[in-house]
Chain A
Amino acid sequence: MGATSVLKARPARPARPPSPTGHTVAKKRTGRAPTGPGRRRQRAGMLMVAPALLHASLWIGLPVVASVVLAFTKYDVLTAPQFVGLDNFRELLGDAVFRKSIINTVVYTFFTVPFGMMLGLLVALALHTGLKAQGIFRTAVFIPQVTATVAIALVWLWIYNPGNGLLNALLSFVGIDGPAWLASTSWAMPSVILVGIWQGIGMKMLIYLAALQSLPKELYEAASVDGASKARQFFSITLPLLKPATFFVLITSMITAFQSFDQIYILTDGGPANSTTMMTYEIYKSAFREFRVGYACAQSLVLFVLLMGFTLVNRRIMGGTRGHN
């Protein structure tokens, strides 16, 4: 195993200066297989990742392979798949609605993710300070995550109702005649984005909260002794140390945003006039309402490539997550 492998320096060290001893595999090795304990570690690592990997290969990998194959077929589930070459992709190029759904998805993601993350972090910081009743606050912020989608949608539909809705009632106080929110082609998307941000805060807060609890307190004590202000501590200690968590929240939020389905399904059904339709919604419609599984797989492939592209770009921008060296 791995006779020609080049093992890169193993980073994995936040916060503290690298220990002089380092890792057994932390040194660059070329041309020679790791021996002794290093090799045992490698084998242990493989064994430990194996169950999850096997599970994912079967239940996700295999479906992906099948989807990629089906993307080049015409498959209506009633008759056997028929190889059609690039037909599905050619049709995709001319599909104005799918193009619209890509733009909508990107816009939605672009607005929900950064704002959601900022708010999630702020709330997490506030609920990390040992306030009285912070458990109640935490639960309250998390509640949209567990509330039934139908209840959420119905309440937001009422908030956005142009006639007797809450939002326009509030706006009328300050003399603004509110728009028809979800029924307007220009306001439907912002309305959906607001719901997306609102609903996502709980999850982001939860991850940040868990990450904040894992931060070593010694650093803050040392910083306090040095006379650093809380703000300085936040920017110099907290934020850098939260990098792995931030990377996680960023990637998963982006994926969640790209795949948002439920609120669109109930709030707008993709309308009006396709102004809120999203890629997953189009995939769903192709596969399960129109019985065009091959075409849906081609659409999925586009989504997959886009999302992986964004993920890699993000990783590049974040400079990796393996600590700081």
Chain B
Amino acid sequence: MELKRRSLLAAIGAGTAAAALSGCGTGTAASGSANGPAEGEITLLTPIFEGADGKTLLEKEILGGFRKKYPDVKVNVDYTTYLQLNEKITTGLAGGLLPDVMMMGVGWIPPFAAKKAIAELPEKFATAHDYEKRVLAPSRYDGRLYALPIVLDTRIVVYRKDHFAAAGIRKTPANWAELRAVAKQLTKDGRIGFDPFSIDLRQCWETFLFANGGQLFSADGKKVLFTDARGVEALQFFKDLVKDGSAVYAKKTDPLAPTNVQTGKASMMMTTSGLWKQVGDQAPDLIKDDKLGAFILANRKPAMLQGGTLVTQSASSKHPAAARALVEYLATPESILGAARQRGSVPGLKDLSDSSYVKENKFVDLSLQSMGDACSEGGTAAWMEIREKIKPTLEPAIVGGQSAKDAIAELGRLAEAAIGRM
């Protein structure tokens, strides 16, 4: 009896494994044609359009318009949070039930495109609207288009104009030497001059790497390039700031707390373009009194890290024509502007740079004007793996005694191993 039970279990186990296998099989096989009429019932997975406003915006306005244009397509919306987006996608992939249309972050496209989980989009989508050339870079893999941007979020330096004025500083720092000097000058009475640590260390270091003229990976994504002097210098710069006392790791902003630049605990900080809206909600006086300014980080060149949410189409959609129509529709200026306004994000289209929303939001305006300096993370099929290693591997150089050189070398080893496994 015992034996029988055991063999039964084993048989069931083998069965699941087989099911998992075939699930993956179906996951990669596309069915139907993307060129046929757009019809059928499709699912949209979205980590954005949250809250009551977001839901109304998506379901009433955007999808309302879509329904008028494509009356034969029914769209089911599956909301998730950014934090759980991975779990949703992982289980969907494993089960062979990827949503027809998905929104995901910058950097996710190459790994998914490399494994043929998402479908290639026609090149005409790239020219349908007035995209800044840079903006579509994260949407491409191997030169082909796989996604369209919905909203962008950028990493910029925000500073307190009142602190600058009080210290007699007239212009924003144009390179790291100036930045370091200004930060030191502004540090006093428990206030820190520059806070680079309140955003994710990964994204912060990447911004500095790009501003230093460095790169993460080679164009084919097979070679690690950040291990050169430029990558080390970027990390060393944080160490220098900490040594000066003008940046303090322990004083980074807590999740609930208002940002350090908002409270005046820091005179400059690395932050996102979304801060404008947040300050507008939390401390409108700062905006009214014109106390906040922003500039693009620069050393060898100006660099603004650009992240954001892209919309893409599953390669296994049963209704590819309908899915493609939805991707196209979600990327139209009207849809984008609404989403950007709701989140305080950057709409990635030049057409929208004169819209009242962009003109009123100084950080968004600056970001859109600086799109030529934008850089993005990712660029290798091993990115999902490497991105997780960056923060914990670089942290010891900042909070521990490790040298910048060693930390970067260690990260380089981990990244090469990850690429080797692809």
Contact = CB atoms under 8 A, between A and B. Distances in A.
A79 B28 contact: yes
Contact of B87 (A70, A184, A288): A288
Contact of B13 (A62, A154, A291): A62
Contacts of A270: 392
A66 B12 CA distance: 9
Of the candidates A57, A161, A291, the one having the most CB atoms from chain B within 10 angstroms of its own CB is: A291
B395 interface: yes
A79 B254 CA distance: 39
A257 B116 CA distance: 40
B384 A291 contact: yes
A185 B400 contact: yes
B138 interface: no
B181 interface: no
Interface in B247-264: 249-252, 254-257
B118 to A, nearest CB: 10
A178 B98 CA distance: 50
A162 to B, nearest CB: 5
Of the candidates A76, A158, A163, the one having the most CB atoms from chain B within 10 angstroms of its own CB is: A76
Contact of A163 (B21, B265, B398): B265
B9 A271 contact: no
Q: Is the interface of B mostly helix, strand, loop or mixed?
A: helix
Interface stretch (A24-32, A137-145, A248-256, A272-280): A272-280
A132 to B, nearest CB: 37
A245 interface: no
B399 A185 contact: yes
Nearest to B86: A288
Contact of B399 (A66, A74, A76, A272): A272
A158 B254 contact: yes
B318 interface: no
B255 A154 contact: yes
A289 B250 contact: no
B3 to A, nearest CB: 13
A80 B24 contact: yes
A287 interface: yes
Given A65-B9, A183-B250, A289 B388 contact: yes
Given A78-B115, A154-B255, A185-B399, A65 B16 contact: yes
Contacts of A274: 392, 395
Interface in A57-93: 57, 61-62, 65-66, 69-70, 74, 76-81
Contacts of B111: 78, 291
Contacts, number: 110
Contacts of B391: 269, 271
Contacts of A79: 24, 28, 115
Interface in A13-59: 57
B385 A62 contact: no
B20 interface: yes
A285 B90 CA distance: 12
Interface string B1-34: 1000000011011001100110011011000000
A300 B400 CA distance: 29
Contacts of B57: none
B122 interface: no
A266 to B, nearest CB: 8
A78 B117 contact: yes
Contacts of A78: 24, 27-28, 93, 111-112, 115-117
Nearest to A287: B90
Nearest to B114: A78
A290 interface: yes
A97 B87 contact: no
Interface in B25-77: 25, 27-28
Interface in A133-167: 153-154, 157-158, 161-163
Contacts of A271: 391-392, 395
B254 A69 contact: no
B396 interface: yes
A272 B21 CA distance: 38
B126 interface: no
Counting from the closest, the 7 A-B pairs by CB-CB distance are: A180-B250, A78-B115, A65-B13, A183-B250, A273-B395, A273-B396, A290-B385
Given A288-B86, A289-B384, 13 more contacts: A62-B13, A65-B9, A77-B90, A77-B93, A81-B17, A97-B392, A184-B250, A185-B396, A266-B255, A270-B392, A271-B391, A271-B392, A272-B395
17 contacts: A1-B1, A78-B93, A78-B111, A79-B115, A80-B24, A154-B254, A154-B256, A158-B257, A161-B254, A180-B249, A183-B250, A271-B391, A272-B399, A273-B395, A289-B86, A291-B111, A293-B94
